[in-house]
Copies of this chain bind each other. A is one copy, B any other.
């Protein structure tokens, strides 16, 4: 086997007049080079440097995406899929220019089946929009990465979130997708049955490929019946280690906890101030339970016993909706709350995931590391999965901040890798973690990724400069 460790290199070049003409004549007003749009499509929510596309095309159908890719492939023009722009590693930044293809007009829920517990949506449907659509039908889609991302974007980055410990991630809940390949051809990755062993798993190949192999235009998703009862609970711990031990035990005995989130004492302090919660400023676990009243009661009881046994204090349940919502709203607003503690600060959010047996050690060492710097960086984590984030606030006008934070992040990732963990549990590689990916998976795996990339996108027009 040849081992092409490289993919086709790119440099930034201007769109040719012919390319502009071809795209304009096909797309009319859906094609724009207006500065406001170029600026909007130059960046995501991360600290990575922006870079404008040469033009933006607002796709309204799979056919639009197909025609766009066919024309761009003909003219060797980069294409960068764009959804909500909420990614955190520069995924949507057109670092070599080209066309940012905006999918947010493809925002229809195409079908919902209550019997099959699945639905098909266009890629530009927003997560909260889908929730709203499903709620009156007694259904919900559980993946909740925090941000109101598009479903297509969530699949492209392999997103997960607070409910993954119970319901799974995009990797487990996307049943199939419609994909436009770099040359404009359209394929379905699979049929609509719940499972299949038919051929190579193209669905998973495109989940987490970050727009580097093609454009996702439609997705069929597993959905769930809204639980009869949703109940939340909080419990404080004297230290992170005992909290994690309690989490391990809870999962081991098979409590089907729907969410189990950790905030360290600094994160609790921040949400206290921001949402006026008055929580004791200790490491905190937030739990949620879903099911029939009997199941939820029994699981709450069992969890409370385990939490207490591992030193948990003040286990409090809140079944009534407003207090449960307030609690989880505070968790969801944690990043905002943390940001608000440092006026004019910007967020730098890390994302490692380790085997849960090493999680406490990884968090404690990271807290120590941060403490030795001048930076402010509380921790929140989807601890049931071993995944946690440093939510650092940095001052962009002070170059020291970014430098120190980059070093903390580098050490954090080395720490996670030394524990057999990953450099990214749910945010993806983007431009920010390409070197870490190589360190994580090794040269042979990288060369297989390059073989796949070169086979499917030999021109390297799809989101060049990302992942590999």
Contacts and interface: CB of A to CB of B under 8 A. Distances in A.
Interface stretch (A18-26, A34-42, A321-329, A351-359): A351-359
Nearest to A160: B195
Interface in A220-245: 224-225, 227-228
Contacts of A294: 294-295, 297-298
Which of A196, A208, A357, A468 has the largest number of chain B CB atoms within 10 A? A196
Nearest to A214: B448
Interface string A252-282: 1110100000000000000000000000000
B197 A424 contact: yes
A423 interface: yes
A73 B416 CA distance: 36
Interface stretch (A47-55, A336-344, A363-371, A433-441): A433-441
Given A1-B183, A254-B290, A423-B198, A448 B456 contact: yes
Contacts of A357: 113, 115-116
A153 to B, nearest CB: 12
A93 interface: no
Contacts of A298: 292, 294-295, 298
A185 interface: yes
A200 B159 CA distance: 13
A404 interface: no
Contacts of A185: 1, 444
Interface stretch (A126-134, A163-171, A389-397): A163-171
> Which of A73, A187, A227, A436 has the most chain B CB atoms closer than 10 A to its own CB?
A187
Contact of A188 (B164, B423, B442): B442
Given A172-B168, A437-B199, A452 B449 contact: no
A114 B249 CA distance: 10
A61 interface: no
A425 B467 contact: no
Contacts of A199: 208, 429, 437, 440-441, 445-446, 449, 467-468
Contacts of A198: 422-424, 428-429, 433, 436-437, 440-441
A187 B445 CA distance: 6
Contact of A181 (B1, B118, B160, B209): B1
A433 B198 CA distance: 9
Given A295-B298, A298-B294, A197 B428 contact: yes
A444 to B, nearest CB: 4
A411 interface: no
Interface string A1-19: 1100000000000000000
Contacts of A73: 1
Contact of A193 (B169, B181, B205, B425): B425
A415 interface: no
A114 B252 contact: yes
A68 interface: no
A216 interface: no
Nearest to A384: B194
A195 B181 contact: no
A288 interface: no
Contacts of A444: 181, 185-187
A403 interface: no
A386 B201 CA distance: 19
Given A115-B248, A199-B429, A353-B196, A422 B191 contact: yes
A115 B191 contact: no
Interface in A52-80: 73
Given A197-B427, A225-B253, 15 more contacts: A114-B252, A115-B248, A115-B356, A116-B355, A116-B356, A118-B355, A187-B448, A188-B445, A193-B425, A196-B424, A201-B201, A225-B254, A227-B254, A256-B291, A294-B297
20 contacts: A113-B357, A158-B197, A160-B197, A169-B195, A181-B448, A193-B421, A195-B422, A195-B425, A196-B424, A197-B428, A198-B423, A198-B429, A200-B209, A200-B467, A201-B208, A203-B204, A205-B452, A227-B254, A253-B292, A455-B455
